[in-house]
Structure 1
Amino acid sequence: MERLRQRDAEVKGDVVVLTDDQKEAIAAAKRDYAANVAEAEILFRSALAVTMDPEARQELEANHRRDLGQFASARDRKIEAARKAGESS
Protein backbone atom coordinates (compact mmCIF):
# COMPACT_ATOMS: atom_id res chain seq x y z
CA MET A 1 0.00 0.00 0.00
CA GLU A 2 2.83 2.36 0.81
CA ARG A 3 4.29 1.90 -2.68
CA LEU A 4 0.91 2.76 -4.21
CA ARG A 5 0.66 5.94 -2.14
CA GLN A 6 4.18 6.90 -3.10
CA ARG A 7 3.50 6.29 -6.79
CA ASP A 8 0.26 8.30 -6.60
CA ALA A 9 2.13 11.18 -4.99
CA GLU A 10 4.72 11.09 -7.77
CA VAL A 11 2.08 11.08 -10.49
CA LYS A 12 0.07 13.88 -8.92
CA GLY A 13 3.18 16.03 -8.89
CA ASP A 14 3.16 16.10 -12.70
CA VAL A 15 -0.53 16.94 -13.06
CA VAL A 16 -1.27 20.51 -14.10
CA VAL A 17 -4.53 21.88 -12.76
CA LEU A 18 -6.23 24.33 -15.12
CA THR A 19 -8.21 27.31 -13.89
CA ASP A 20 -11.77 27.89 -15.02
CA ASP A 21 -10.60 30.73 -17.28
CA GLN A 22 -8.03 28.43 -18.90
CA LYS A 23 -10.62 25.72 -19.42
CA GLU A 24 -12.99 28.24 -21.02
CA ALA A 25 -10.25 29.60 -23.30
CA ILE A 26 -9.33 26.07 -24.40
CA ALA A 27 -12.98 25.19 -24.99
CA ALA A 28 -13.45 28.39 -27.01
CA ALA A 29 -10.41 27.56 -29.15
CA LYS A 30 -11.81 24.09 -29.83
CA ARG A 31 -15.27 25.51 -30.66
CA ASP A 32 -13.75 28.05 -33.06
CA TYR A 33 -11.74 25.28 -34.72
CA ALA A 34 -14.81 23.07 -35.14
CA ALA A 35 -16.81 25.96 -36.59
CA ASN A 36 -14.04 26.89 -39.02
CA VAL A 37 -13.65 23.29 -40.16
CA ALA A 38 -17.40 22.89 -40.66
CA GLU A 39 -17.58 26.09 -42.70
CA ALA A 40 -14.55 25.09 -44.79
CA GLU A 41 -16.06 21.64 -45.43
CA ILE A 42 -19.30 23.16 -46.69
CA LEU A 43 -17.50 25.60 -48.97
CA PHE A 44 -15.10 22.91 -50.20
CA ARG A 45 -17.85 20.43 -51.01
CA SER A 46 -19.96 23.02 -52.82
CA ALA A 47 -16.97 24.18 -54.88
CA LEU A 48 -15.98 20.59 -55.61
CA ALA A 49 -19.50 19.75 -56.78
CA VAL A 50 -19.40 22.33 -59.58
CA THR A 51 -15.76 21.81 -60.59
CA MET A 52 -15.15 19.15 -63.21
CA ASP A 53 -11.58 20.00 -64.24
CA PRO A 54 -9.18 17.54 -62.53
CA GLU A 55 -6.45 20.16 -62.08
CA ALA A 56 -8.88 22.62 -60.54
CA ARG A 57 -10.17 19.89 -58.22
CA GLN A 58 -6.62 19.10 -57.12
CA GLU A 59 -6.03 22.77 -56.41
CA LEU A 60 -9.25 22.94 -54.38
CA GLU A 61 -8.18 19.88 -52.39
CA ALA A 62 -4.72 21.32 -51.75
CA ASN A 63 -6.22 24.63 -50.61
CA HIS A 64 -8.65 22.79 -48.37
CA ARG A 65 -5.86 20.77 -46.73
CA ARG A 66 -3.85 23.97 -46.25
CA ASP A 67 -6.83 25.71 -44.65
CA LEU A 68 -7.44 22.79 -42.29
CA GLY A 69 -3.78 22.86 -41.29
CA GLN A 70 -3.96 26.59 -40.59
CA PHE A 71 -7.07 26.11 -38.46
CA ALA A 72 -5.36 23.37 -36.45
CA SER A 73 -2.24 25.51 -35.97
CA ALA A 74 -4.32 28.45 -34.76
CA ARG A 75 -6.21 26.18 -32.37
CA ASP A 76 -3.00 24.72 -30.99
CA ARG A 77 -1.46 28.19 -30.51
CA LYS A 78 -4.54 29.39 -28.63
CA ILE A 79 -4.55 26.32 -26.39
CA GLU A 80 -0.84 26.67 -25.64
CA ALA A 81 -1.31 30.38 -24.88
CA ALA A 82 -4.15 29.57 -22.48
CA ARG A 83 -2.02 26.98 -20.70
CA LYS A 84 0.96 29.33 -20.43
CA ALA A 85 -1.27 32.12 -19.11
CA GLY A 86 -1.99 29.94 -16.09
CA GLU A 87 1.68 29.17 -15.50
CA SER A 88 2.64 32.83 -15.28
CA SER A 89 -0.07 33.76 -12.79
Structure 2
Amino acid sequence: MKLQEKYQQASKEARWALGLTILYVIGWCLCAYLPSGTTGPIGFPLWFELACIYLPVLFIVVAYWVLRIVYQDFDLDNHSDSEQETKP
Protein backbone atom coordinates (compact mmCIF):
# COMPACT_ATOMS: atom_id res chain seq x y z
CA MET A 1 0.00 0.00 0.00
CA LYS A 2 1.44 3.36 -1.00
CA LEU A 3 1.79 6.16 1.53
CA GLN A 4 -0.95 8.23 -0.14
CA GLU A 5 -3.33 5.25 0.00
CA LYS A 6 -2.51 4.79 3.68
CA TYR A 7 -3.38 8.41 4.43
CA GLN A 8 -6.60 8.12 2.42
CA GLN A 9 -7.57 5.02 4.40
CA ALA A 10 -6.73 6.73 7.71
CA SER A 11 -8.81 9.74 6.66
CA LYS A 12 -11.71 7.46 5.70
CA GLU A 13 -11.53 5.73 9.08
CA ALA A 14 -11.47 9.08 10.90
CA ARG A 15 -14.56 10.25 8.98
CA TRP A 16 -16.40 7.06 9.89
CA ALA A 17 -15.44 7.46 13.57
CA LEU A 18 -16.60 11.08 13.62
CA GLY A 19 -19.83 10.23 11.81
CA LEU A 20 -20.65 7.40 14.20
CA THR A 21 -19.90 9.63 17.19
CA ILE A 22 -22.22 12.37 15.92
CA LEU A 23 -24.90 9.79 15.11
CA TYR A 24 -24.59 8.32 18.62
CA VAL A 25 -24.94 11.73 20.30
CA ILE A 26 -27.99 12.57 18.18
CA GLY A 27 -29.49 9.15 18.92
CA TRP A 28 -28.83 9.55 22.63
CA CYS A 29 -30.47 12.99 22.73
CA LEU A 30 -33.51 11.70 20.85
CA CYS A 31 -33.83 8.66 23.11
CA ALA A 32 -33.29 10.65 26.29
CA TYR A 33 -35.55 13.62 25.65
CA LEU A 34 -38.35 12.55 23.28
CA PRO A 35 -40.04 9.62 25.08
CA SER A 36 -42.78 10.41 27.54
CA GLY A 37 -42.47 9.53 31.22
CA THR A 38 -43.65 5.95 30.78
CA THR A 39 -42.02 2.81 32.11
CA GLY A 40 -40.06 0.62 29.73
CA PRO A 41 -40.28 -3.16 29.30
CA ILE A 42 -37.72 -3.95 32.02
CA GLY A 43 -39.10 -1.53 34.60
CA PHE A 44 -36.86 1.50 34.20
CA PRO A 45 -38.11 4.79 32.78
CA LEU A 46 -38.39 4.46 29.00
CA TRP A 47 -35.92 7.28 28.30
CA PHE A 48 -33.30 5.52 30.46
CA GLU A 49 -33.79 2.16 28.79
CA LEU A 50 -33.56 3.66 25.31
CA ALA A 51 -30.63 6.01 25.94
CA CYS A 52 -28.55 3.96 28.37
CA ILE A 53 -29.29 0.31 27.55
CA TYR A 54 -30.67 -0.28 24.04
CA LEU A 55 -28.79 2.44 22.13
CA PRO A 56 -25.34 1.50 23.50
CA VAL A 57 -25.95 -2.18 22.70
CA LEU A 58 -27.04 -1.22 19.18
CA PHE A 59 -23.94 0.92 18.68
CA ILE A 60 -21.65 -1.83 19.95
CA VAL A 61 -23.02 -4.02 17.15
CA VAL A 62 -22.71 -1.16 14.63
CA ALA A 63 -19.14 -0.42 15.73
CA TYR A 64 -18.23 -4.10 15.39
CA TRP A 65 -19.50 -4.23 11.81
CA VAL A 66 -17.87 -0.93 10.88
CA LEU A 67 -14.56 -2.25 12.24
CA ARG A 68 -14.93 -5.43 10.20
CA ILE A 69 -15.94 -3.68 6.95
CA VAL A 70 -14.28 -0.23 6.89
CA TYR A 71 -11.14 -0.37 9.02
CA GLN A 72 -7.91 -1.97 7.80
CA ASP A 73 -4.83 -2.99 9.74
CA PHE A 74 -1.71 -1.44 8.22
CA ASP A 75 1.51 0.21 9.33
CA LEU A 76 1.82 3.96 8.80
CA ASP A 77 5.62 3.79 8.53
CA ASN A 78 7.01 4.68 5.12
CA HIS A 79 9.75 2.03 5.26
CA SER A 80 9.89 -0.88 2.86
CA ASP A 81 9.81 -4.42 4.21
CA SER A 82 13.50 -5.01 3.39
CA GLU A 83 14.58 -1.97 5.42
CA GLN A 84 12.63 -3.16 8.46
CA GLU A 85 14.23 -6.61 8.35
CA THR A 86 17.79 -5.23 8.40
CA LYS A 87 17.30 -3.05 11.48
CA PRO A 88 18.09 -4.68 14.87
Give the TM-score normalised by the residue count of structure 1. 0.51
Find the aligned partners of 2:67 and 2:8 in 1 and give their Cα distance: 12
Higher normalized helix content (fraction of residues): 1
Identical counterparts, % of pairs: 6
> Number of residue pairs matched?
66
How many Å apart are 1:25 and its aligned residue?
2.3
Find the aligned partners of 1:27 and 1:72 in 2 and give their Cα distance: 17
Query: Cα 1:24–1:83, aligned 2, differ >3 Å: closer, same or farther?
Result: same
The 5 Å alignment of 1:1-89 reads: 19-48=6-35, 50-51=36-37, 53=38, 55-56=39-40, 58=44, 59-64=46-51, 65-81=53-69, 82-83=71-72
The runs of 4+ residues in structure 1 deviating greater than 6 Å are none
Find the aligned partners of 1:26 and 1:76 in 2 and give their Cα distance: 13
Structure 1: give runs of 5+ residues left out of the alignment: 1-16
The question of whether the paired residues in 2 share the 8 Å contact of 1:36 and 1:71 is answered with no
